[in-house]
């Protein structure tokens, strides 16, 4: 029995939700380019949860249900107010708040498929409000109630900033939500599936997944990319900064991927958005710096940018605080996590692999006064 470090290449589940084959990403067989160019986030949510696209009535119903369920318990706002707001990371706040949402859901432990689908809607509806409420409480501002007539992406930006976003902002944010919605058996989705395979509840699965997404090798990389861009500061410093990191064998955040070899198909969409939005906000240097970093890493390390690289300058251009980038990833990925949770329940078996024991053998207990 020998271990495969990081489970690389191990097929650990069957899934109908998304696939990555030869650097091509599909959700339920629909290409990511097709969906990003033509669908809305709500359509993608329906697709992931039902493994088919909705008709007009089904889409209208889902939008309505999401809008109807965006409110969160006042206790969550109070919870945020009780946190050490100068130091708590928004992902830690989100992880705790999603767990608390479960405590407030009377159906949390009702395990039939209909109840789980209702929880999926409630959780997807509320998670955006949780993130925006935290952001506002932290700034000493009042939370903004959602506007039912706005779509999911527009509502998020509206609740975050307190003013209705421009069409171009809604379009970019909606596309970003689509691009982050699902990604086969990534670390956080696997975490969610392991959790609920014990027949634990949806909230436990998503809480665990948030914990896994938080790390900088996974979703936390987008915040780190922005930290890097901020630290570098200007385009003339890119070369020496990046070279120094590479010479010291340090990782450059936003590059590399366990599965993609030729490139992450989501990155080109974010790159186009980054170019457009950084120009509009008068910060084109952010895009130019990103391209310069990109070209150096591709040339020297042959590592393509992943989804987290250009998303950083996109979110910055939308006026979003940098430590909210990963919570926004979580808002989108909740759709994928929940899809995988529902799929796991539908054909469940406990996930319990083995470990190769490499510790000492045949030890004999030594009484404490003899150690």
Ligand X SMILES: O=C([O-])CC(=O)C(=O)O
Give which of ligand X, ligand ACO, none residue 322 binds (C-beta under 5 to 8 Å, depending on kind).
none
Give which of ligand X, ligand ACO, none residue 227 binds (C-beta under 5 to 8 Å, depending on kind).
none
The tokens for 26 are: 């599909």
Distances (CA, A) of 306 to 111, 179, 242, 265, 312: 36, 11, 17, 8, 11
CB of 307 to ligand ACO, least distance (A): 5
Question: How many angstroms separate the CA atoms of 223 and 233, rounded?
Answer: 15
Instruction: Name the CA dihedral angle for 24, 259, 335, 88, rounded to a multiple of 10 degrees.
Output: -140
Nearer to ligand X, 146 or 256 (CB): 256
Catalytic entry in 180, 183, 257, 269: 257
Contact 131, 325 (CB under 8 A): no
Instruction: Single out the residue of 147, 258, 283, 292 in contact with ligand X (rule: CB under 6 A).
Output: 258
Give which of ligand X, ligand ACO, none residue 197 binds (C-beta under 5 to 8 Å, depending on kind).
none
Asked if 317 is part of the footprint of ligand X (rule: CB under 6 A), the reply reads no
Asked if 290 is part of the footprint of ligand X (rule: CB under 6 A), the reply reads no
The tokens for 58 are: 């089904």
Number of residues that bind ligand X (CB under 6 A): 6
Residue 308 a catalytic site member: yes
- Give the start-end residues of each E strand in 29-171: 30-31
Nearer to ligand X, 179 or 202 (CB): 179
Three-state SS for 131? helix
Going by C-alpha positions, the residue among 243, 173, 251 that lies closest to residue 218 is 251
Residue 257 a catalytic site member: yes
Asked if 202 is part of the footprint of ligand X (rule: CB under 6 A), the reply reads no
Give which of ligand ACO, ligand X, none residue 217 binds (C-beta under 5 to 8 Å, depending on kind).
ligand ACO
Question: How many angstroms separate the CA atoms of 46 and 27, rounded?
Answer: 11
Question: How many angstroms separate the CA atoms of 250 and 245, rounded?
Answer: 5
Asked if 183 is part of the footprint of ligand X (rule: CB under 6 A), the reply reads yes
Three-state SS for 20? strand
Nearer to ligand ACO, 248 or 363 (CB): 248
CB of 265 to ligand X, least distance (A): 11
Q: Which residue is nearest to ligand X (CB)?
A: 186
- Judged by CB under 6 A, the chain residues 67 through 126 that form the site for ligand X are none
Asked if 186 is part of the footprint of ligand X (rule: CB under 6 A), the reply reads yes
Residues that are catalytic: 257, 308
């Amino acid at each position: 029995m020998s271990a495969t470090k990081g489970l690389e290449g191990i097929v650990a589940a069957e899934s109908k939700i998304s696939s990555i084959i030869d650097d091509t990403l599909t959700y339920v067989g629909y290409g990511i380019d097709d969906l990003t160019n033509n669908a809305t986030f709500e359509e993608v949510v329906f697709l992931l949860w039902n493994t088919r696209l909705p008709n007009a009535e089904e889409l209208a119903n889902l939008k309505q249900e999401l809008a109807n369920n965006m409110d969160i318990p006042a206790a969550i706002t109070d919870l945020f107010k009780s946190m050490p707001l100068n130091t708590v990371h928004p992902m830690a706040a989100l992880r705790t708040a999603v767990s608390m949402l479960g405590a407030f859901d009377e159906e949390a432990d009702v395990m039939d498929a209909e109840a789980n689908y209702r929880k999926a809607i409630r959780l997807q509806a509320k998670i955006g409000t949780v993130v925006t409420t935290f952001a506002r409480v932290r700034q000493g501002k009042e939370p903004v109630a959602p506007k039912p007539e706005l779509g999911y992406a527009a509502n998020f930006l509206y609740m975050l900033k307190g003013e209705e976003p421009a069409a171009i902002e809604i379009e970019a944010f909606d596309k970003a939500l689509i691009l982050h919605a699902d990604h086969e058996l990534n670390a956080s989705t696997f975490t969610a599936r392991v959790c609920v395979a014990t027949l634990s509840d949806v909230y436990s699965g998503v809480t665990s997944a948030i914990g896994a997404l938080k790390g900088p090798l996974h979703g936390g990389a987008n915040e780190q990319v922005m930290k890097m861009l901020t630290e570098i500061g200007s385009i003339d410093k890119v070369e020496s900064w990046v070279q120094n990191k590479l010479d010291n064998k340090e990782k450059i955040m936003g590059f590399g991927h366990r599965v993609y070899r030729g490139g992450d198909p989501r990155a080109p969409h974010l790159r186009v958005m980054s170019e457009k939005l950084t120009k509009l906000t008068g910060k084109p240097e952010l895009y130019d710096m990103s391209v310069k970093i990109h070209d150096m890493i591709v040339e020297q390390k042959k590592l393509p940018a992943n989804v987290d690289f250009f998303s950083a300058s996109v979110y910055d251009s939308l006026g979003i605080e940098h430590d909210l980038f990963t919570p926004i990833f979580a808002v989108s990925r909740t759709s994928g996590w929940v899809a995988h949770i529902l799929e796991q329940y539908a054909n469940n078996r406990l996930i319990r692999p083995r470990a190769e024991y490499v510790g000492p053998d045949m030890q004999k207990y030594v009484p404490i006064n003899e150690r």
